[in-house]
């Protein structure tokens, strides 16, 4: 028995929710890659249970999750999620009946979104080389415009009123700031940029600014600066090298992370981790992209964001070496030019997946 193999492999229980559209293709690909990783390394095993919670089932059954869905999820060590949303169901229904309740009920108040230019891929930014764009966006994942407060009055009249209330709490801001500072501190540059819109949004965003500077007092080794979100989009495009770790609200970071993914090459490569840092509940891992109905069912979705998310899941579970090995396998494949159309290649999902599995087998 090779010395790196533990006497008994650690077993992790994974809930898999493929969801809709390309969520199904990329989840299948990610589970294949994870199975290859587990078999090759022999250090851990994944016991996966798949939940068919999707828009198709909502249309036939009237719900995404069964009533005890959230309770069922709590029994797992981690959740792997594909994507949810389909043109036959309004997007706010799909989001608010599946992914947002999971993030909230399982206290996944942090959403970590790393972005960098992978080996063999190109940024659309002229002169932006590998290493010039290497960011981690820390997204607040429980409050802001996504807290769910608001409503519509006089809906069936010609003077309907819609309110969307953004909620920012001291507890919510403090805990995301601490996580962001710890993330910045763990990276070589120890640099944190905080994003708000505290010139126009003069209450909640001002509270964000204040708490940021208060928490910063405990992290004197971290270099800090502050940006307004509109100017931040300009800086990301014109001076990507000046950024490292970024912390922003739920809405702002949602938008900035799509931009970040596009600037690093494609939205198809970007991963995300929805974390409960207290570890009382399972955390959830998913690529940042949606169900991409325009390419669904064609077998051409880029699975790299799904693989990177799988690597982050394995890392969170404590299998650091396996996570690093998976990332190396992914980058060996992108470096060899095996990539999908969104990255300028011509491979389909299966070809990229086969290539990553082959690279993983070399790790054994
Ligand atoms: P999207 O991310 O699904 O697609 C945007 C564009 O990027 C499309 O042209 C798509 O083909 C392309 N794209 C996305 N992922 C790709 C991949 N892996 N490989 C190659 N190309 C890829 O965003 P969109 O179109 O705004 O939303 C579609 C649906 O997904 C909606 O119902 C939306 O609500 C939902 N959605 C769900 C999310 C989630 O489950 N976490 C996140 C974002 C959107
Ligand atoms: Mg998004």
ipTM: 0.98
Give the residue from 234, 264, 294 where a domain finishes.
264
7 found inside a domain: yes
Which residue's C-alpha comes closest to atom 25 of ligand 1? Answer: 292
User: Tokens standing for 58?
Assistant: 């909502």
What is the sign of the dihedral through the CA atoms of 277, 288, 91 and 284? negative
Contact 258 CB / ligand 1 (< 6 Å): no
Which residue's C-alpha comes closest to atom 27 of ligand 1? Answer: 290
pLDDT per residue as tens digits for the range 169-220: 999 999 999 999 999 999 999 999 999 999 999 999 999 999 999 999 999 9
Domain extent at residue 256: 123-152+161-264
Q: How many domains does the chain have?
A: 2
Which residues have CB atoms below 5 A from the ion given as ligand 2? Answer: 254
Instruction: Tell me, yes or no, whether 278 and 254 share the same domain.
Output: no
Cβ pair 83, 299 in contact under 8 A: no
165 found inside a domain: yes
118 found inside a domain: no
Which of 260, 285, 283 shows the shortest CA–CA distance to 272? 285
Contact 342 CB / ligand 1 (< 6 Å): yes
Which residue's C-alpha comes closest to atom 1 of ligand 1? Answer: 290
Quick one: which atom of ligand 1 is closest to the CA of 86?
32
pLDDT per residue as tens digits for the range 27-71: 999 999 999 999 999 999 999 999 999 999 999 999 999 999 999
pLDDT per residue as tens digits for the range 227-237: 999 999 999 99
Instruction: Tell me, yes or no, whether 330 and 248 share the same domain.
Output: no
Is residue 141 helix, strand or coil? coil
The whole model's pTM is what? 0.95
Instruction: Tell me, yes or no, whether 67 and 170 share the same domain.
Output: no
* C-beta neighbour count of 119 within 10 angstroms: 14
Give percent of the chain with pLDDT exceeding 70: 98
Is the pLDDT at 166 greater than 90, yes or no? yes
Instruction: Tell me, yes or no, whether 287 and 310 share the same domain.
Output: yes
Contact 29 CB / ligand 1 (< 6 Å): no
Cβ pair 167, 277 in contact under 8 A: no
What is the sign of the dihedral through the CA atoms of 251, 252, 253 and 259? positive
User: Tokens standing for 356?
Assistant: 């990553």
pLDDT at 4: 56
Give the residue from 249, 264, 279 where a domain finishes.
264
Instruction: Tell me, yes or no, whether 314 and 361 share the same domain.
Output: yes
Instruction: Tell me, yes or no, whether 51 and 83 share the same domain.
Output: yes
**Average pLDDT score over the chain:** 96
Q: How far is the CA of 355 from the centre of ligand 2 (A)?
A: 28
Is the pLDDT at 336 greater than 60, yes or no? yes
Is the pLDDT at 1 greater than 70, yes or no? no
What torsion do the CA atoms of 258, 291, 328, 28 make, to the nearest 10 degrees?
Answer: 170
Quick one: which atom of ligand 1 is closest to the CA of 294?
11
Instruction: Tell me, yes or no, whether 131 and 256 share the same domain.
Output: yes
* C-beta neighbour count of 279 within 10 angstroms: 11
Tell me which ligand sits closest to the C-alpha of residue 93.
Answer: 1
Give the residue from 241, 264, 287 where a domain finishes.
264
User: Tokens standing for 278?
Assistant: 């207290």
Using pLDDT thresholds of 50, 70 and 90, give the confidence band for residue 8: confident
Instruction: Tell me, yes or no, whether 13 and 98 share the same domain.
Output: yes
Instruction: Tell me, yes or no, whether 286 and 234 share the same domain.
Output: no
pLDDT at 2: 55
117 found inside a domain: no
- Looking only at the bridges linking them, the beta strands covering 245-248 and 44-50 are unpaired
pLDDT at 6: 59
Quick one: which atom of ligand 1 is closest to the CA of 341?
20
Instruction: Tell me, yes or no, whether 251 and 277 share the same domain.
Output: no
User: Across residues 160-177, what is the average pLDDT?
Assistant: 97
pLDDT per residue as tens digits for the range 283-299: 999 999 999 999 999 99
186 found inside a domain: yes
Which CATH number belongs to the domain containing residue 340 in this structure?
Answer: 3.40.718.10
178 found inside a domain: yes
Q: How far is the CA of 257 from the centre of ligand 2 (A)?
A: 7
Instruction: Tell me, yes or no, whether 260 and 279 share the same domain.
Output: no
Q: At CA 34, angle to CA 345 and CA 26, rounded to 5? A: 45
Q: How far is the CA of 342 from the centre of ligand 1 (A)?
A: 13
Tell me which ligand sits closest to the C-alpha of residue 348.
Answer: 1
Under DSSP, the state recorded for 27 is H
Is the pLDDT at 250 greater than 70, yes or no? yes
Q: How far is the CA of 291 from the centre of ligand 1 (A)?
A: 5
Which of 353, 273, 271 shows the shortest CA–CA distance to 308? 271
Instruction: Tell me, yes or no, whether 98 and 194 share the same domain.
Output: no
113 found inside a domain: no
Which residue's C-alpha comes closest to atom 4 of ligand 1? Answer: 292
- Looking only at the bridges linking them, the beta strands covering 161-167 and 144-153 are antiparallel
Contact 294 CB / ligand 1 (< 6 Å): yes
CB under 8 A, 24+ apart: contacts of 188-192: 189/223, 189/244, 190/221, 190/222, 190/223, 190/244, 191/222, 191/223, 191/224, 191/243, 191/244, 191/245, 192/219, 192/222, 192/223, 192/224, 192/225, 192/244, 192/245, 192/246, 192/247
pLDDT at 27: 98
pLDDT per residue as tens digits for the range 75-122: 999 999 999 999 999 999 999 999 999 999 999 999 999 999 999 999
pLDDT at 364: 86
Contact 306 CB / ligand 1 (< 6 Å): no
- The Cα–Cα gap between 308 and 313 comes to 9
116 found inside a domain: no
């Amino acid at each position: 028995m090779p010395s790196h193999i533990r006497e008994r492999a650690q077993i992790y229980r994974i809930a898999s929710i493929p969801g809709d559209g390309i969520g199904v293709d990329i989840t299948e690909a990610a589970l294949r890659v994870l199975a290859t990783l587990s078999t090759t390394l022999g250090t851990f095993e994944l016991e996966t249970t798949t939940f068919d919670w999707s828009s198709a089932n909502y249309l036939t059954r009237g719900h995404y999750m069964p009533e005890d869905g959230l309770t069922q999820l709590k029994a797992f060590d981690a959740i792997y999620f594909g994507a949810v949303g389909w043109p036959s169901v309004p997007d706010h229904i799909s989001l608010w009946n599946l992914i947002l309740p999971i993030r909230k009920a399982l206290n996944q108040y942090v959403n970590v979104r790393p972005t960098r230019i992978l080996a063999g891929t190109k940024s659309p930014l002229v002169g932006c080389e590998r290493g010039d764009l290497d960011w981690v966006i820390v997204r607040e994942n429980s409050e802001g415009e996504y807290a769910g407060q608001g409503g519509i009055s006089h809906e069936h009249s010609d003077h309907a009123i819609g309110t969307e209330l953004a909620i920012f709490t001291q507890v919510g801001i403090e805990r995301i700031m601490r996580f962001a500072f710890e993330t910045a501190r763990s990276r070589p540059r120890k640099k944190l940029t905080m994003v708000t819109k505290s010139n126009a949004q003069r209450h909640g965003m001002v509270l964000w600014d204040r708490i940021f500077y208060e928490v910063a007092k405990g992290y004197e080794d971290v270099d800090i600066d502050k940006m307004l979100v509109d100017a931040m989009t300009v800086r990301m495009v014109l001076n990507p090298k000046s950024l490292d770790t970024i912390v922003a609200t739920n809405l702002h970071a949602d938008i900035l992370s799509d931009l970040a993914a596009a600037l690093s090459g494609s939205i198809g490569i970007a991963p995300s981790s929805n974390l409960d840092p207290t570890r009382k509940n399972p955390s959830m891992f998913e690529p940042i992209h949606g169900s991409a109905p325009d390419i669904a069912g064609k077998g051409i979705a880029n699975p790299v964001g799904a693989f990177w998310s799988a690597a982050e899941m394995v890392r969170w579970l404590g299998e650091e070496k396996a996570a690093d090995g998976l990332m190396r396998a992914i980058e060996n494949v992108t470096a060899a030019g095996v990539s999908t159309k969104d990255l300028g290649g011509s491979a389909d999902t299966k070809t990229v997946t086969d290539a990553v599995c082959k690279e993983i087998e070399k790790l054994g």
